[in-house]
A and B are shown apart, each in its own frame.
Chain A
Amino acid sequence: MSAAEQALVTSDAVPLSLRGPAPTRVVAGYGFWLFLLSDIVIFAALFAAYAVLSGENAGGPTAAELFDKKHVLIETACLLASSVTCGFGSLAVQSGDRTSTYLWMAITFILGVTFLSLEVSEFSHMLSIDAGPSRSAFLSAFFTLVGTHGLHVTIGLCWLVIMLLQVATLGFQPMVSRRFFCFGLFWHALDIVWIGVFTIVYLGAHL
């Protein structure tokens, strides 16, 4: 493409509607963005259920008795750090750097697993003191909301392993880097949902 043609395409002289179909990366990114927003709508429904039911503990343990702030702060730190390492990893994917892709994504994976194991230990502790999801409406709503988030993290970790295997076998093909890009969006969106979880569920419990 000559410089003049390029100037014509990028300038605002050509309306968006006349520039032809968008590249696959833009279309895939936009479609995945729509999926993420609909996923956030699911979480909104679970948040609404939790907000309505959070006081209905049926004589069982209350939120303030169950939740430990220090534990949640460590979980938040893991998720936040993994979001940044995931960002560095996607930059490495974009520049086609295999070693730093493996490095950053391995750190992301370890931080994600740490988060999950903290969450599982919290859940199993709650189950052991008879504060399981069947105890009260508050606990049902809690386990549904936080469990759904944990399930998303689990799925994200599986996806990450599959993506690393694809990098190992297929290399940085456009297809692979597009999928990696969608994985990054997914992981950052989970972090945004977690902000809502720790504010409403864990910090809200101690007010």
Chain B
Amino acid sequence: MSTEIEAQGKAPGSQVHTHGARRSYLIGLGYAIVLTLASFWASSTDVIYPHGVPILLGVLAIAQMGVHLVFFLHISSAPDQTNNILALAFGIFVVGLIVFGSMIIMAHLNHNMMPMDRLMQMQR
């Protein structure tokens, strides 16, 4: 079965060696704990320049998502995972469009909107 899989490409999350895979989960757990505690610490500390904290939180979150993808979902850049990587890249692209697109558009609309009190006066 395992040679069959290797011949045809890999399903996301599949692994062959049980021992190595167990270690990969533990390494992933270690990284995830460090990154989680770091982001909780960063959100409540005064040590870091306050305007830099949201960026730091974003970086830590994206790093942790990467750790989960690599160590838990076993996504890698191996040639037999091209399909999974392509689908993932498209997914990230769509997510980026939706989230940042909505935020930019709504911020612009909000910026260009007439102040509420003047809008109320016009309705009378």
Contact = CB atoms under 8 A, between A and B. Distances in A.
B18 interface: yes
Contact of B94 (A22, A33, A41): A41
B78 interface: no
Contacts of A76: 36
A171 interface: no
Q: Which of A21, A49, A52 has the most CB of B within 10 A?
A: A52
Interface in B76-96: 83-84, 87-88, 90-91, 94-95
Interface string B3-37: 11111111111110010011001101100110010
Contacts of B106: 52
Q: Which of A9, A33, A41 has the most CB of B within 10 A?
A: A33
A33 B106 CA distance: 31
Interface of B: 1, 3-15, 18, 21-22, 25-26, 28-29, 32-33, 36, 39-40, 43-44, 50, 53-54, 57-58, 60-61, 64-65, 68-69, 72-73, 83-84, 87-88, 90-91, 94-95, 98-99, 101-103, 106
Interface of A: 1, 6, 9-10, 16, 19-23, 25-26, 28-30, 33-34, 37-38, 40-41, 44-45, 47-49, 51-52, 69, 73, 76, 80, 83-84, 87-88, 90-91, 94-95, 181, 184-185, 188-189, 191-192, 195-196, 198-200, 203-204, 206-207
17 contacts: A23-B1, A23-B8, A26-B11, A28-B11, A30-B84, A33-B11, A41-B91, A45-B98, A47-B99, A76-B36, A80-B29, A83-B72, A84-B29, A94-B15, A188-B68, A195-B61, A195-B65
